[in-house]
């Protein structure tokens, strides 16, 4: 069955430890003692690239993992300890050649100047495959790790954190634009390495910070690497609409997906960005097996080991690759660009994505059968159909 | 015989780097960094080093455009280089003024994990509100507070890294126990600079902590290094001055309960190689002409004079007027302007030297700045490097080639084998971690 005329489908995988389920590390094939090694992450991303996926995301936070999203716990039966996601992505970049690399970065306690040049550098070392999943920190313990301010209570404080995140992304993007593409001239006649009229102060001054610029890092291959954010509600939808190229959302069904798509589109319009695409991916947490019964049994077994049923902000899907392909093709017309799949257990569910789901979608004519080779080779933006932005400062006086 | 330690400094954003040479490659493409790192590893160097500056330099209120401009993010490029090398240490400058301990600790712990124990940190402090304009916390530290902040920052980072002992991850699938103690990573730290508490999230890395470098040879810098560093970067100097520096710094270790071997002294050094010594001297002069154009020479005297001297002819005599005294306002974002502690005396000295030798501005600047440390045939350079090490003027050198990325290739191919023949330089890596390459004990 060929789905002709449909938008091309895009698939991503969200990498997290030994998998998203808290008992995943105890599964056969898991490598729990290797989670802090480069080899482990290289194998995962290589597998995702073998499945022709668009990109992988790397989870991160500025605190130790915990069952609660809001506070630490004292559990010893879960994966605890992690690596910085941006550095992990950079470590993998030279070992891969097609797949996009999108590490998470917390924007609440960090410097936009540092993150801007880090992601620009990731774009350089990956030849245009970098993105960044920006993340707001609203955890008291993370505030305590920095000791610069305290987390205020109430909805206004959370709303402010999202507004601050929008300012942060604005600064990061301005810094990416602060070097025009052709600023490096190496003019031996005049002895000038750069044409300084093509470097620009960004002079950002907002409620939370001021940043002068320009960046110390030249404009990266994509001009602006891809910015993404995860969202569950108004604050996050607004951030996605105002600041992101890619949004991760968590609908429970196709009508729910359509409602979120409409909501983000309305916010995008309100932000004055209606002419710039934003690509929405639905997050799904997946257990994939040869039969739906086996998948359900495995989910139950893992829950049993973990001591409680696993709950997720995303829909939990337990079934066959063909069932998941059905769901994907049923939801996609709601306006989704694609899906970001969270494997419940690694390697089991990751390899079933790359070796069963992808072939199933290919059989239906719904997913690429090779990475396209043009332009030479495509950037993550090219892959997602996002135009390469010109520097906003091009043509302006320095 | 003492063993020579060698490291490679990726050519930086100074006039030492000759970007105008036809062989000069990109300063930002990953292929340049990979080439440079692979050469250093082929030559069995201890580590590769990257400098950092967090604000583009300015002169006369404009972005300085005569040298290489632009560089990658230090952590990110080092992490990428870990994938194209297996043994080479990966060292970077990270500023203690415009970062927070929790973040820097997790970045170094991560880099050390991802490189299987090859991370090193050159701890620097920044001094100026100029750079602070790029950061949300801004930043200005009075001179005397800079090392205090650096000491507190370093101590805090090490405290965070030590919250994990290295035996916590048991990952026992049968009993379902991942870590042995729930309080791994717990910390509470308060000093005059930091007031933080919580739980650090990166388990102990192969080296435990990165190898710590300190750059700078001020008295405060020497004391900081003696107390806390594994290696000190200094400026290259004549043999006797090097021996005096070496003796002074090593002599400071005892009061911190450390032995002289626990701190390596590694001056930065440049080199010019040619088949014969005469050819090398000739080539060295050509390189100096490339490094100091007329425009660069004017920029240099402006930095000392602290005035706009763009009307002067670089092929003419030095200005008769004296330098402008007080805070240097002409050049910003540049550490070297602080070297001129008495600009008027230095200017008088330069004028005297120019008059005595009948030198133009450009010829004078070629004479007084950045002469190459080692010039000669490979055998001459190898002998000279070994002499410095055996005479206790250094423990080795951090070599700074003038061409990116191939400027290290000839050294690797010609000088390194001669050092190996003398039995003063390794022919194979014996360990896997940087600490092992440097002969340092595990912390």
HEC states along chain A? CCCCCCCCCEEEEEECCCCCCCCHHHCCCCCHHHCCCHHHHHHHHHHHHHCCCCEEEECCCCCCCCCCCCCCCCCCCCCCCCCCHHHHHHHHHHHCCCCEEEEEEECCCCCHHHHHHHHHHHHHHCCCCEEEEEECCCCHHHHHHHCCCCCCCCHHHHHHHHHHHHHHHHHHHHHHHCECCCCEEEECCCCEEECHHHECCCCEECCCCEECCCCCCCCCCCCCCEEEEEECCHHHHHHHHHHCCEEEECCCCHHHHHHHHHHHHHHHHHCCCCCCCCEEEEEEEEEECCCHHHHHHHHHHHHHHHCCCCCCCCEEEEECHHHHHHHHHHHHHHCCCEEEEEECCCCHHHHHHHHHHHHHHHHCCCCCCCCCCCCCCCCHHHHHCCCCCCCCCCCCCC
From chain B, the residues in CB contact with A65 under 8 A are 201
Q: How confident is the model at residue B371 (pLDDT cuts 50, 70, 90)?
A: confident
Q: Are residues B170 and B254 in the same domain?
A: yes
Instruction: Please answer whether residues B267 and B231 qualify as being in contact, where contact means their C-beta atoms are separated by less than 8 angstroms.
Output: no
> Mutate which of B201, B295, B314 to disrupt the A interface (most A C-beta within 10 Å)?
B201
CB contact under 8 A, B82 and A91: yes
Given a contact cutoff of 8 angstroms between Cβ atoms, the answer to whether A30 and A19 are in contact is yes
Residue A132: per-residue pLDDT: 98
C-alpha B282/C-alpha B276 separation (Å) is: 10
Taking contacts as CB-CB distances below 8 angstroms, the residues of chain B near A147 are 194-197
Interchain pair B111, A127: CB under 8 A: no
Cβ-defined contact of A81 to B29 (cutoff 8 Å): no
| The pLDDT of residue A220 is above 70 | yes
With an 8 Å Cβ cutoff, is A266 touching chain B? no
**Cβ(B307)–Cβ(B330) under 8 Å?**
yes
- pLDDT, residue A396, reads 72
Asked which of B327, B342, B368 is the last residue of a domain, the reply is B368
Q: Is the pLDDT of residue A201 over 70?
A: yes
Residue in B with minimal Cα distance to A96: B83
Q: Are residues B133 and B243 in the same domain?
A: yes
Q: How far is CA B198 from CA A66, A369, B151, B162, in A?
A: 13, 48, 21, 14
Report the largest interatomic distance among the alpha carbons of chain A, rounded to a whole angstrom: 74
Residue A124: its chain B contacts at CB < 8 A?
28-30, 72
Quote the pTM value: 0.97
Q: Which residues of B248-277 are buried (b: 16+ CB within 10 A; e: fewer)?
A: ebbebbeeeeeebebbbbbbbbbbbbbeee
The fraction of chain B above a pLDDT of 90, given in percent, is 86
Please tell me whether residues B376 and B332 are part of one structural domain. Answer: no
Comparing CB atoms, the residue among B100, B171, B181 nearest residue A25 is: B171
Contact B179 A86 (CB under 8 A): no
C-alpha span between A18 and A59 (Å, rounded): 12
Q: Which of A66-80, A115-129, B138-152 has the highest mean pLDDT?
A: A115-129
pLDDT value, residue A4: 43
Give B196-251 pLDDT, tens digit per residue.
Answer: 999 999 999 999 999 999 987 788 889 989 999 999 998 888 999 999 999 999 99
Residue A197 is encoded by which pair of tokens?
A: 């009229």
**Per-residue pLDDT at B296:** 96
pLDDT at B235: 85
Place B411 in a pLDDT band, splitting at 50, 70 and 90. very high
Cβ pairs A/B, distance under 8 A? 231
Q: Which A residues 319-348 touch B at CB under 8 Å?
A: none
Q: Residue A214: pLDDT above 60?
A: yes
**Same domain flag for B386 and B341:** no
Closest chain A C-alpha to B67 CA, distance in angstroms: 6
pLDDT of residue A181 exceeding 90? yes
Q: B349 and B394 share a domain?
A: no
Domain-located, residue B286: no
Helices A85-92 & A112-125 angle (0-180, nearest 10): 20
Residue B340 and residue B227 share a domain? no
Kindly write down the DSSP assignment for every residue of B180-203, as one continuous string.
S-TTTTEEEEESSS-EEEEE--SP
Do B269 and B306 belong to one domain? no
A10-384 in CATH: which number?
Answer: 3.20.20.30
Q: Is B296 helix (H, G, I), strand (E, B) or coil?
A: helix
Cα–Cα dist B9/B408, whole Å: 10
From chain B, pick out residues whose CB is under 8 angstroms from the CB of A218: 28, 70
Distance from CA of A323 to the nearest CA of B (A): 31
Test B137 with A25 for CB contact under 8 angstroms. no
Domain limit, last residue, from B353, B368, B383? B368
Q: Does A305 touch chain B (CB under 8 A)?
A: yes
**Co-location of B138 and B246 in the same domain:** yes
Tokens of B282: 């000739």
CA distance B200 to B101: 11
Confidence of residue B339 (pLDDT cuts 50, 70, 90): low
* % pLDDT > 90, chain A: 94
- pLDDT tens per residue across span B67-120: 999 999 999 999 999 999 999 999 999 999 899 999 999 999 999 999 999 999
Residues B305 and B350 in one domain: yes
- Token match 């933080």: residue? B196
Task: Write out chain B residues lying below 8 Å of A193, CB-based.
Answer: 19, 65-69
Helix (H, G, I), strand (E, B) or coil at B126: coil
A130 interface with B at CB cutoff 8 Å: no
pLDDT digits (tens, 9 = 90+) for A297-309: 999 999 999 999 9
Same structural domain, B331 and B431: no
Instruction: Taking residues A103-129, report their average pLDDT.
Output: 98
A291 or B325: whose pLDDT is higher?
A291
Confidence of residue A64 (pLDDT cuts 50, 70, 90): very high
The shortest C-alpha distance from A22 to chain B (Å) reads 11
Cβ-based contacts of B294 with chain A (< 8 Å)? 191
State the pLDDT at residue B337.
60
Interface test with B, best of A66, A118, A121 (most B CBs within 10 A): A121
Instruction: Compute the distance between CA of residue B67 and CA of residue A290 in angstroms, rounded to an integer.
Output: 61
Please provide the DSSP assignment of B392-423 as one string: TS-SEEEE--SSTTGGGHHIIIIIHHHHHHTT
**Is B281 inside a domain boundary?**
no
Mean pLDDT across chain A, nearest whole number?
96
| Confidence (pLDDT) at B51 | 94
A-interface mutation test, from B84, B99, B114, B300, most A Cβ less than 10 A away:
B114
CA-CA distance, B272 to B279, in Å (whole number)? 10
So what's the pLDDT on residue A1?
37
Which is nearest to B292 in space by CA: B401, B83, B284, B355? B284
Same domain, B267 and B303: no
- What per-residue string of b and e applies to B318-343 under the rule 16 or more CB within 10 Å gives b? bbeeebbeeebebbbbbeebeebeeb
Q: Is the pLDDT of residue B401 over 90?
A: yes
What CATH number is given to the structural domain containing B63?
3.20.20.30
Q: What is the ipTM of this complex?
A: 0.97
Residues near B294 by beta carbon (within 8 Å), at least 6 away in sequence = A191, B314, B315, B361, B362
Whether A149 shows a pLDDT value over 50: the answer reads yes
Number of domains making up chain B: 2
Domain that holds residue B329: 293-368
Helices (H) and strands (E) in chain B, counts: 15, 17
Nearest CA of chain A to the CA of B350: how many Å? 25
Which residue in B167, B172, B198 has the most chain A C-beta atoms within 10 A of its own C-beta, making it the best mutation to test that interface?
Answer: B198
Q: Are B382 and B345 in contact (CB under 8 A)?
A: no
Question: Which among A72, A87, A121 has CB closest to B72?
Answer: A121
Do B389 and B327 fall within a single domain?
no
Chain A residues with beta carbon closer than 8 angstroms to that of B54: 113, 216
A88: chain B residues, CB-CB within 8 Å: 79, 110, 114
**Distance in Å, alpha carbon of A245 to nearest chain B alpha carbon:** 23
- Determine the Cα–Cα distance for residues B148 and B105; give it in Å rounded to an integer: 18
């Amino acid at each position: 069955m060929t789905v002709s005329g449909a938008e091309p489908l895009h698939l991503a995988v969200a990498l997290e430890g030994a998998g998203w389920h808290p008992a995943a590390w105890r599964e056969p094939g898991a490598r729990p003692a290797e989670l802090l090694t480069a080899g482990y992450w290289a194998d995962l991303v290589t597998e995702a690239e073998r499945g022709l996926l668009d990109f992988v995301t790397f989870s991160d936070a500025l605190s130790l993992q915990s069952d609660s999203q809001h506070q630490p716990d004292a559990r010893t039966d879960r994966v605890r300890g992690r690596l910085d996601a941006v550095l992990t992505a950079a470590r993998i970049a030279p070992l891969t050649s097609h797949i996009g690399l999108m590490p998470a970065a917390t924007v609440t306690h960090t410097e936009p100047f540092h993150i801007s040049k880090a992601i620009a550098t990731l774009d350089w070392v990956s030849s245009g495959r970098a993105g960044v999943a920006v993340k707001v920190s609203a955890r008291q313990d993370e505030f305590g790790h920095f000791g610069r301010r305290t987390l205020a209570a109430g909805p206004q404080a959370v709303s402010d954190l999202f507004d601050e995140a929008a300012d942060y992304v604005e600064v990061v993007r301005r810094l990416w634009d602060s070097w025009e593409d052709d600023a490096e001239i190496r003019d031996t006649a005049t002895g000038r390495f750069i044409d300084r009229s093509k470097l620009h102060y960004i002079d950002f001054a907002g409620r939370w910070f001021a940043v002068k610029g320009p960046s110390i890092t030249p404009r990266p291959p994509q001009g602006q690497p891809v910015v993404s954010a995860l969202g569950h509600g108004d604050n996050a939808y607004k951030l996605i609409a105002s600041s992101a190229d890619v949004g991760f959302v968590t609908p429970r069904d196709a009508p729910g997906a359509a409602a979120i798509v409409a909501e983000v589109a309305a916010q995008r319009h309100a932000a004055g960005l209606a002419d710039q695409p934003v690509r929405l991916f639905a997050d799904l947490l997946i257990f994939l097996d040869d039969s739906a019964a086996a998948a359900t049994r495995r989910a139950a077994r893992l829950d049993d080991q973990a001591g409680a049923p696993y709950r997720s902000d995303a829909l939990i899907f337990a079934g066959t690759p063909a069932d998941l392909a059905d769901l994907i093709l049923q939801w996609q017309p709601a306006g989704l660009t694609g899906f970001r799949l969270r494997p419940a257990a690694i390697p089991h569910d990751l390899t079933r994505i790359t070796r069963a789901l992808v072939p199933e979608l290919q059989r239906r004519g719904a997913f690429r059968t090779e990475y396209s080779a043009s332009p030479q080779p495509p950037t993550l933006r090219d892959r997602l159909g996002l135009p390469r932005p010109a520097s906003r400062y091009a043509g302006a006086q320095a | 015989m003492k063993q020579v330690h060698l490291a490679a400094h990726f050519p930086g954003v100074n006039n030492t780097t000759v970007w105008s040479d036809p062989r000069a490659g990109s300063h930002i493409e990953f292929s340049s960094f990979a080439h440079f790192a692979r050469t250093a590893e082929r030559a069995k160097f201890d580590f590769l080093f990257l400098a950092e500056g967090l604000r583009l330099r300015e002169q006369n209120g404009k972005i300085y455009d005569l040298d290489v401009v632009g560089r990658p993010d230090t952590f990110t490029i080092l992490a990428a280089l870990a994938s194209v090398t297996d043994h080479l240490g990966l060292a970077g400058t990270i500023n203690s003024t415009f970062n927070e301990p929790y973040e820097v600790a997790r970045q170094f712990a991560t880099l050390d994990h991802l490189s299987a124990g090859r991370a090193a940190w050159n701890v620097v402090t920044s001094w100026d509100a100029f750079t602070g304009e790029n950061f949300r916390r801004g930043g200005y530290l009075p001179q005397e507070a800079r090392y205090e902040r650096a000491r507190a920052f370093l101590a805090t980072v090490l405290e965070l890294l030590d919250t994990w002992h290295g035996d916590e991850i048991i990952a026992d699938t049968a009993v379902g126990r991942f870590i042995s103690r729930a309080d791994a990573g717990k910390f509470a730290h308060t000093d005059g600079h930091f007031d933080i508490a919580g739980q650090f999230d990166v388990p102990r890395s192969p080296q435990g902590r990165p190898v710590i470098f300190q750059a700078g040879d001020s008295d405060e810098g020497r004391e900081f290094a003696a107390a806390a560093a594994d290696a000190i970067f200094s400026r290259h100097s004549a043999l006797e001055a090097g021996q005096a520096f070496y003796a002074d710094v090593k002599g400071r270790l005892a009061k911190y309960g450390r032995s002289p071997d626990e701190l390596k002294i590694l001056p930065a050094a440049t080199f010019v190689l040619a088949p014969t010594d005469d050819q090398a001297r000739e080539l060295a002069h050509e390189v100096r002409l490339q490094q100091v154009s007329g425009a660069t020479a004017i920029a240099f005297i402006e930095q000392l004079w602290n005035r706009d001297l763009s009307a002067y002819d670089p092929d003419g005599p030095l200005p008769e007027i004296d330098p402008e005294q007080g805070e240097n306002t002409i050049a910003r974002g540049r550490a070297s302007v602080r070297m001129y502690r008495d600009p008027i005396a230095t200017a008088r000295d330069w004028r005297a030297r120019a008059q005595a030798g009948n030198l133009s501005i450009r010829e004078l600047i070629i004479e007084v700045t950045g002469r190459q440390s080692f010039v000669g045939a490979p055998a001459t350079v190898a002998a000279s490097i070994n002499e410095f090490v055996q005479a206790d003027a250094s423990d080795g050198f951090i070599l700074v080639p003038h061409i990116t990325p191939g400027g290290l290739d000839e050294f690797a191919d010609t000088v390194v084998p001669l050092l190996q023949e003398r039995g003063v330089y390794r022919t194979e890596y014996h360990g896997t971690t940087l600490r092992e390459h440097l002969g340092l004990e595990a912390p």
